[in-house]
Amino acid sequence: MAGIIESSPAHQNFSRYDIRVIIQFSFILGKDASCIHKDLVTVLGENAPSIQTVRKWVKAVSEGRDDMEDRPRPGRPVTAFGDANISKVLVSLSDDRRKTFEEISTETSMSRTSVFRVLTNKLNNNKKFSKWVPHLLTDEQKESRVNFSRNFCRDFKLSKMTFWVG
């Protein structure tokens, strides 16, 4: 039976919730944290949680925790990536793509870090030659480059020129 579980790739895609339930079940069967961790490593390999994580969940289960869902965490929620802030950055960039993230920050009343994260993580922009440009080319840009290359090759063949090394 153990050989079947070890070799089955379907068993390596457990969610964090699934792993917590397995820890809970194994604890109920009387296994300790190190034994549970060993079993998880056998099945999940490098995707297994650390021994510290297993110990934390064994302790939580032993103290009576029966829900394995993530609990809400205290603190301020992340708002930098909201649609309103992304729109503010896009509007600011539409005026001038050469703005620095400090200038955009001042204009949008957002922190410089938030502006930088929106530009790089959400809008996939990079700063190239003092200008914010998309990291990936659009379909139109790709088509334009292919057409340019084809025209260049056609013109080169028609001119019957040769390259030489010298």
| 73, pLDDT greater than 80 | no
pLDDT at residue 61, rounded to an integer: 92
Q: Residue 166: how many CB atoms within 10 A of its CB? A: 2
**78 — pLDDT class (breaks 50, 70, 90):** low
CATH architecture of the domain with range 2-62: Orthogonal Bundle (1.10)
* pLDDT tens digits, one per residue of 93-116: 888 888 887 898 899 888 888 888
Domain boundaries, the chain: 2-62, 83-134
User: What is the C-alpha separation between 62 and 72, in angstroms, rounded?
Assistant: 21
Q: Structure pTM?
A: 0.43
* pLDDT tens digits, one per residue of 118-144: 888 778 787 777 777 776 777 788 889
The DSSP output letter for 78 is P
